[in-house]
Structure 1
């Protein structure tokens, strides 16, 4: 059984779409989260801490909204910014600064205590230009395998480009109402529509393909 360390049932449902209903279970563990300007080190540290606690295969994810014109803010601090400022204020900061271009990113970290062999290129070469460019930049900035402490962690990153808009829609969670992709905010999409293109879904798709051969 694969333990997804999260208290968000939506994440577990999304993972089961890619891995199967019986393959994933939620695990509630409040691991200490390090501070970093990028997502990967946070996910790596969390996966190691979770595996040490659970003792069985785990996945941990870290995600954030990166606004180009605000130097990537809120990025890894997205949850803190949402709690302290609120999504509407974050959106207003971006729009007032003329900084509408943004990217949702997600890093999934897997750990089972065993080493990993090399895997194929994780970038979907069939994706259209703007999405591909975003993912190529994301992949270039993230090591596929990290084992500096002796506990290997495998990383899978997904990213989706969009822009910041005035809040629209009632679905989703977090920054979904202010993030628009192809003319529709994440909060205006159905769960299936969002999961099919989301940053987390793209990371999960890469992980599921690799995990099937694990």
Structure 2
């Protein structure tokens, strides 16, 4: 059974719209990197070693154009330390308030992948980023990556729903926090990545049963 590594039950419910999966509560090492793919790939390798079952890990962030992509992969830390209102204030007087939510899903099942448009992470850059070039415990495992992006702009907080940066991220006139759950999932960065992964995953499962 596919294991989705997360402590957020809402993510699992969203993922189940695309494929069967179970929640796997595992605290993998979250390396410091500017690359969402490197972070997710490292987590997928580590979680696969722990579970010995197919693993799905996601990493996501808010990328603000005028802030050169900040907070990006550090979005969770910035939310906890500065708060979303402070991020909104940083761009409140800027003409360019464009931003994007981005998500990368990393899948590892210990096997190789056939060629497809979605990239495969083979070189565990996470080890180098962590300063452990001589540690090969998680190297050599290919990880398939799937990305999703939704563009919008930063606005003063509106709405009571969602979580994280949803109240300050407006997409086509509505903040994520103002959207119903189904409406948000249909256009979200994670939903778009899950849709790509779900289609590919079902094809992979079907090929194995032929």
Could you state the TM-score of these two structures normalised by the residue count of structure 2?
0.88
Aligned twin of 2:201: 211
Q: 1:50 aligns with which of 41, 47, 51?
A: 47
Helix, strand or coil at the partner of 1:53: helix
Q: CA deviation at 1:38?
A: 1.7
Please say if 1:10 is aligned against 2:10.
yes
User: What's the Cα RMSD here?
Assistant: 1.0
Query: Within 5 Å, which residues of 2 pair with 1:30-179?
Result: 30-119=27-116, 121=117, 144-148=119-123, 149-179=139-169
Greater shift, 87-96 or 174-183, is seen at: 87-96
Q: CA deviation at 1:25?
A: 0.7
Please say if 1:194 is aligned against 2:184.
yes
Instruction: Provide the aligned length of Structure 1 versus Structure 2.
Output: 189
Consecutive aligned runs of 4 or more in structure 1 exceeding 3 Å deviation: 96-99
- Point out the structure with max Rg over C-alpha: 2
Aligned twin of 1:185: 175
In 2, Cα distance between equivalents of 1:107 and 1:94? 25
Give unpaired runs (5+ residues) of structure 2.
Answer: 124-138, 205-210
After superposition, what is the alpha-carbon deviation per residue over 1:142-183, rounded to whole angstroms, capped at 9, x for unaligned? xx1012231010000000100000000000000000000000
**Is the 1:69–1:98 Cα contact (8 Å) retained in structure 2?**
no
In 2, Cα distance between equivalents of 1:185 and 1:5? 27
